[in-house]
Structure 1
Amino acid sequence: MNVLIVFAHPEPQSFSGALKNTAVATLQEAGHNVEVSDLYEMGWQAVLGHGDFCGDRADAAYLDLSREQEHAFASGTFDEVVKAEQRKVTNADLILFHFPVWWFSMPAILKGWVDRVFARGFAYSTGKKYSSGHFKGKKAMLCITTGTAATLYEPNGIDGDLHHVLWPIHNGILAYTGFTVLPPYASWMPARLSEEERISYLKGYARRLQDIDHLEPLFFHPWEDYDETQRLKPGVVAKSGVQWNPRANQRKYEAAIQYTPEAK
């Protein structure tokens, strides 16, 4: 399997960096091909704009980003750094996104990677989204770290259900473009843990990756559950992600860990 890891943390020695290193070692040991896009190390330019389009433009007088992206993809005139990342995505069977949760979302540099790389024409187009998306057949998973405890991300927690917090990424980016979305791996408050506790999280992540082919993906309603207005049909019960509990889902990978993150 070809795996792309998109890593978005400014400090290589961070716990996010340790998780990334664990992923590389675990996956390579299992015989997978692994490629890493370290966005800070690359000096990734996060802002989508005029510079993304080289050569002839669809309309040089007015920047319509969707139109220009579609034109650049069809004509092969994207900036070379964008084309390089798109080639990585094309080759990947699985993409792992490693990042700290900042302001209930991903760091700006990673959002900018999505803005520029998941371009119209390449990642989505008219009639090609969700279950018919361009990336159908590929898998994606988030590996996140947080600054607060797991209890805050429960349905009755002050920060809100983790599934709802990650919905714009899981549904709006990954499912939208056709990925099969795997449950995220969350490390809660690693900066406040002991070395032993952090090692336990790394071992849990390694076990998760060793089991990657057998993970049950998150549920998203298929097209046939929606009517012509793209709303759920009468009688269809909304259940995207409802049956997924982030703490229960992760417990099997922490089964050998004496430390219990949610008890902190």
Structure 2
Amino acid sequence: MNILIVYAHPEPQSLNGSLKDFAITHLRTAGHNVQVSDLYAMQWKAQLDARDNIAPSADIPFHPSLDSQRAFKNGTQSADIVAEQEKLRWADTVIFQFPLWWFSMPAIMKGWVDRVYAYGFAYGVGEHSDTHWGDRYGEGAMKGKRAMLMVSTGGWESHYSPRGINGAIDDVLFPIQHGVLHYPGFTVLPPLVLYRTGRTDAARFNQICDELATRLDTLESTTPIAFRHQNSGEYEIPSLTLKPEIAPGKTGFAAHLK
């Protein structure tokens, strides 16, 4: 299997750095092909701007989505964006590894999404009609590929429980798992979340490595998160709201799970 790890942590000697190295070795020993996008080591440019199109139109004001569309269509995207898109095309499974900072991914990884998910590549694709509102939420360029989040946090697991002060971890990660992953078509696996990482000693590290090894060994067989597909008949189009008979009485994130 071809596996891409998109990794964001500034310190190679951190817990995340050690787990990234463990994952690479474990996967390759198991016979998988592995590529890594180590965003801090790559000095990835996080901001989406006019420089992402190497042949911009001088007489047209910069428009983030339309410039992205023109660059993708005309083959004038900057080389770093093209390279990451090729990695995504190559991969069967993508692992996004990052520390949870302020309830989301680090800015450098968000910038990777902003720039690599070009208009025409990850969004803005497919027929838009009264019965099909684009190839997204279960369809699109990433359809047939699996993705998983590997997230570390200093908070306690109870802090991210359904009644915890930080909110349930599935709710915290919903915008990433449903929006960043499911939207362009990935089949999304349950996340591997590591809690209280500041208290990790040698015994806990070995335990985490065992947990990670199990998840890596079952990437192809793990039951994915049962997100609803937009064009499966469960949503009204073009309003894109659930039909009344689907999950009656449910609202919010949970309504979009089967």
TM-score under structure 2 length normalisation: 0.90
What displacement does 1:240 show? 5.4
In structure 2, the partner of 1:37 is: 37
Cα distance in 2 between the residues matched to 1:22 and 1:199: 11
- Answering whether residue 243 of structure 2 is matched by residue 233 of structure 1, we say yes
Q: 2:172 aligns with which of 157, 165, 169?
A: 165
Deviations 1:92-144 (A, max 9, x none): 11110010000000000000000000111111114121122221111110001
What displacement does 1:60 show? 3.9
Which portions of structure 1, spanning 4 or more consecutive aligned residues, are displaced by more than 6 angstroms? Answer: none
In structure 2, the partner of 1:261 is: none
Assess if the C-alpha contact under 8 Å between 1:190 and 1:198 holds in 2.
no
Map residues 131-146 of structure 1 onto 2, 5 A cutoff.
131-146=138-153
Cα distance in 1 between the residues matched to 2:257 and 2:193: 18
What displacement does 1:56 show? 4.4
Assess if the C-alpha contact under 8 Å between 1:182 and 1:216 holds in 2.
yes
What one-letter code is carried by the residue in structure 1 that aligns with 2:47?
Answer: V
In 2 relative to 1, CA 21–241 (structure 1 residues): closer, same or farther, beyond 3 Å? Answer: farther
In structure 2, the partner of 1:65 is: 64
What one-letter code is carried by the residue in structure 2 that aligns with 1:227?
Answer: E
SS at 1:70 equivalent = helix
Cα distance in 2 between the residues matched to 1:193 and 1:21: 17
Cα distance in 1 between the residues matched to 2:55 and 2:176: 32
Assess if the C-alpha contact under 8 Å between 2:142 and 2:184 holds in 1.
yes
In 2 relative to 1, CA 56–45 (structure 1 residues): closer, same or farther, beyond 3 Å? Answer: closer
Cα distance in 1 between the residues matched to 2:257 and 2:122: 27
Assess if the C-alpha contact under 8 Å between 1:218 and 1:240 holds in 2.
no
In structure 2, the partner of 1:249 is: none
Deviations 1:191-236 (A, max 9, x none): 2122111211111101111111110101111221101211110121
Cα distance in 2 between the residues matched to 1:108 and 1:83: 20
Assess if the C-alpha contact under 8 Å between 2:228 and 2:256 holds in 1.
no
Cα distance in 1 between the residues matched to 2:60 and 2:124: 23
Higher helix share: 1
In structure 2, the partner of 1:9 is: 9
SS at 2:120 equivalent = coil
Assess if the C-alpha contact under 8 Å between 2:228 and 2:257 holds in 1.
no
Q: Size of the alignment, in residue pairs?
A: 242
Percent of aligned pairs with the same amino acid = 44
Structure 1 gaps of 5+ residues are 244-264
In structure 2, the partner of 1:262 is: none
In structure 2, the partner of 1:210 is: 217
Assess if the C-alpha contact under 8 Å between 2:152 and 2:197 holds in 1.
yes
SS at 1:206 equivalent = helix
SS at 2:241 equivalent = coil
Cα distance in 1 between the residues matched to 2:255 and 2:2: 28
Cα distance in 2 between the residues matched to 1:110 and 1:47: 10
Which shifted more, 163-172 or 22-31?
Answer: 22-31
Deviations 1:147-175 (A, max 9, x none): 11111111100000101100110011110
Structure 1 vs Structure 2 CA RMSD: 1.5
Structure 2 gaps of 5+ residues are 126-133
